[in-house]
Structure 1
Amino acid sequence: MPDRPEIVCICGSTRFATEMHAANRELTFAGAIVVAPGVFTHAESRSSAMEEAAKSITSEQKAALDELHRRKIDLADRVLVVNPGGYIGESTRREITYATAAGKPVAFTDPLGDKG
């Protein structure tokens, strides 16, 4: 038995906030420590109040969020990409490349993402 629970980093487009939340819940109930995006910047993933707050995110803040997420990948034992319909955007693709280069196993919620 390991000294600590497995740490899983959730990656994917923040437009899939509902799906990310479901994956987080499932992993947490399975006993994993989950690290995931803390700020959701896509309009499809937000309530109107969240949408207004997201409008004030600067390019510098976005860059800082991206860097912070790479540090979350560093902490993780593995990465789970939430990719309904196989969708993987440019930012998520960079995270997958980063995780792979760091030797982190990468899995996908939709096996289509494994191909592209």
Structure 2
Amino acid sequence: MTTITICGSARHRDAIYQTAELLEEAGFVVLKPPLHRIDELTAGQAAELKELAWKGATFAHLNRILKADVVFIVNPDGYIGSSTTLELGYAVAHRKLIAAMMPDAHELARSVLFDLLLHCPDIEKAVSDLSKRLAPAVES
């Protein structure tokens, strides 16, 4: 069974959750980013606590990337932020297959790292296309 870790900006929170649900329905094991609202959760706490929370969330998601067969970047508008850039570099360093919905809107240096570029801003169609590409070849 193929394990897919989803990466993407928190600004795409709803799209990430929708993508995860559709991929699970298609039969994949899906690991999604926590997308915690750490600043809200740590409001009024010491700066050290906020830093530890961010560090823990970051390392937890990098561990999800290690467990994945495929890293899927959910970026329906082409946006890839700094956290997703970090995750992309980590996935490349660990030789993961990397798929993305859209090319990076501002930086070709990121887009060239995608193994599968779907050119599709629509969540349902992108999941369908990705599922077809990841389906094992049927022997005749």
Alpha-carbon distance in 1 for matches of 2:40, 2:36: 12
Instruction: Indicate yes or no: 2:95 matched with 1:99.
Output: no
Aligned residue for 1:28?
24
Structure with more relative contact order (C-alpha pairs < 8 Å, separation 6 or more) = 1
Counterpart of 1:85, as a letter, is D
Cα shift at 1:54: 5.7
**TM-score, with length taken from structure 1:** 0.78
Alpha-carbon distance in 2 for matches of 1:103, 1:19: 25
Whether contact under 8 Å (1:17, 1:40) holds in the other structure is no
Whether contact under 8 Å (2:42, 2:50) holds in the other structure is no
**Over residues 57-88 of structure 1, what are the superposed CA-to-partner deviations in whole Å (9 max), with x where a residue is unaligned?**
70111011101111000000010011121100
| The structure with more helix, counted as a fraction of residues | 1
Aligned residue for 2:120?
none
Counterpart of 2:103, as a letter, is P
Aligned residue for 2:41?
53
SS of residue paired to 2:77:
helix
Fraction of identical pairs, as percent: 31
SS of residue paired to 1:58:
helix
Gaps of 5+ in 1: 43-50
Alpha-carbon distance in 2 for matches of 1:96, 1:29: 25
SS of residue paired to 1:85:
coil
Whether contact under 8 Å (1:15, 1:40) holds in the other structure is no
1:6-17 matches, cutoff 5 A: 6-17=2-13
**Pairwise CA RMSD:** 2.2
Gaps of 5+ in 2: 111-140
Aligned residue for 1:82?
74
Whether contact under 8 Å (2:13, 2:35) holds in the other structure is no
Count of matched residue pairs: 104
